[in-house]
Structure 1
């Protein structure tokens, strides 16, 4: 068991550290024995909870695939519920401890979850499931029991109750303190109870409460905008500039000035301001929004001041408006940063670095490590530069050229750099040698192939496949159900794998101990599950029919035997005399009795019709 888990973890480390291999996500879940454990498969871009099938696999002692538990009875028997991205173990035990993996159908990404089950109180388990809360003395304090974001209603699980308990002290009702005290600090354990199928299941978490001395801080400060900030605007456009402030007194005032004159709140004027505020427990958030209906030349010539008038402290910021100019920030469009390019040794490769800017003084060039790549086309590695100046932007291209890709080229980093007075951009790329790829394919049997078998006979059907990935899986299905590898069953399969230098040969042998009528009525599917492509072939069994040639031969032999007996019976005397004469017995004179016997036989024969 430990060897299997170690091998799995080594595989995970290899997959997550090898370039070009899809990186896997990994997470840990800690739970006490007897409590409910919830495993969630991370969602990927392009997949939602309702439109993609999720495959769950447990890598524990049983090595059982959970996604084939199609009935609620099977799930209830194992104490496991599966619903899309959610896997719930109602009462976790050490048998459930191990690694679990999940993946979406047709997705190349697989996520791993390590479930650790503790049979006794563990400091590690407590810390993994612990949150913190800070409150201040003589103030209201509310503890919240953490809960996983799980749609329990879709699993027919009902939330029951929450109980709180403190280590070595009294427990707050519902986690609520009307006026918290310093001695209330400590670790609190909350237990969430859930009802499912008439049974109660629990999940516990701990909350560390830290009660600090009460602090009343007087503050009055403008958060935004910054003093002397200039705002780029378009003439005749509507512009709103928010002045945001934080204070501790509801008597403070926040307003706008135009020069030395007050801006009014009358919304029918060309320039006015709106005022809003939100009174939180510890502070007051104020906003004064300066509104320009249509920005004019006159507005561009004025200064506008946001002022926070407070008995504690007075703050102000002054801003100006500036007409927008057509400006395109310099940016590299392609390639992407840290992009890898698959190449063949000794081949010619050209990689274009494309950028857009608005200044013809900007420069686009390539670096090899920290050294400049030259434009000398006689060198093994060089670059060409072209640019097109459109009305609104300049399109630049620096083409990095490898005459013949070498081993040295594969070991270096190449950086495309856009040097600008406004902002410097760069992207770094690497070259990677192409590796031979063998697409996964099932070689035999053929799809819809029929196999002639005898009832009660032992039959073995090999499904053979070739692939280049050792994480691909080859297995058999009976209808929609998985055929198991348990050799004590009437129908099972054996799996073998041979990893050659360039390819992996896989064989899944479907074994029928004694072919039955039920086996003849089913379809059997060999499936090759791969991140690249999923393949399958379906076969059926047919009962052997009696050969027409064999039946004809049997009839011929029977007729021949009947004719032989009839001929011998009719011509027995003639045959005896012929044999005697043939053996040379004619020279001996027959005695009277013998002659009489022969005459009688001949006479009897002659009388027959």
Structure 2
């Protein structure tokens, strides 16, 4: 017979010969040997490995001590031997436990269970033996569910969640030297067989299942019957109170299997296969029956034909589809004609007065100033076309530098005040504005109001093709990325412009509301 013992290197170990239990009282001699060595283990207490009374002591055990040991018991009539296999493994610094060399223990889910710290029988009665500390997965065990005896751990209300790796630790002093003792335990928790009142998980009692005539059908019944495999466990189907296996219907047959769930709960599932649904099945009760050694329970279901799609349902579905299509088309039309719709709404429902916001101008116009005496289209656009369209025809009031800032005024102060009194900022983007190294003061103030104070909306008019906008200053690029630009694509002409062109509709869309009275006065 072999006994297997695991111990970390550098820790003490004492082994008792278990053959002593089988001997009757009387004279006998017990001697320990290491297998392969004919010399008995010395009885000198100063020797690291020695025999004391009938125990073999390792103080401490070292890696080279691994091997087989035998205790030989001789009396007047016989000689008996017992072998003990000792494995001394290396304790790695910083590793709180070594799963590879853990002692395996098994307990069951009970009200309480005991976990033993192994190979401490011959230490616990010593005066220098300290109480044992217990850890689970390297965390100190605490709480009302755990209590500790001299060397054992008691766990109350044991569940499968208590499985895992445990470590017990203590110290032992011998000849003035203190030794650390630790044992690693791999704990398995198993549930003992116990029945539970059978519970049918599905189908639900009095359930109704929709079917089609001529089609096949599979009815599943699943029931929980207890903890671990049950000696009596039946889940079956009855057809009008007759078990399927006793019925004459070749269309019906059962298929059964079982499985374990959480907490080792035992489940059984039986599927009733019906190859063809017939009219008489619609007046039939299908009953799932679950039985164990405690009790039995039932759940009955019936079949009914799937609802046919009648005229009211068709009308409802068609109406819903038409409504969805109408909504989708409306959204597409709004996206395509959003500007025209908003402008039409303003024209029809424009109030005769708007709330006084303290502003004087509808927009302040920023454009690149020419440093030559030659006329250019941008200035013509600012001084002629814009006022004609936005002021004369649409009723807006613009503030244009050079026209609405009076001689003698402090330019910087006048620009800042005019912008504060304007509801919008219109910036004309041209190549001249982009390539200008020193940006005009009104441009700086406009971008500050738009980006920092965030109280004035900006309208960007792209008068020339700019390209990728890489040469724009960063603040302008940010505004372009956020809201885009309105591109001027009309011919440079001195002929009167139409306020209903695509370009001017876009500008009007981004402009604030105007007074109907003003608009009417200018268009009437």
TM-score by length of 1: 0.26
Which one has the bigger strand percentage? 1
Which one has the bigger helix percentage? 2
More contact order relative to length (CA 8 Å, sep ≥ 6): 2
TM-score by length of 2: 0.30
Task: Work out which of the two has the higher radius of gyration on C-alpha atoms and give 1 or 2.
Answer: 2
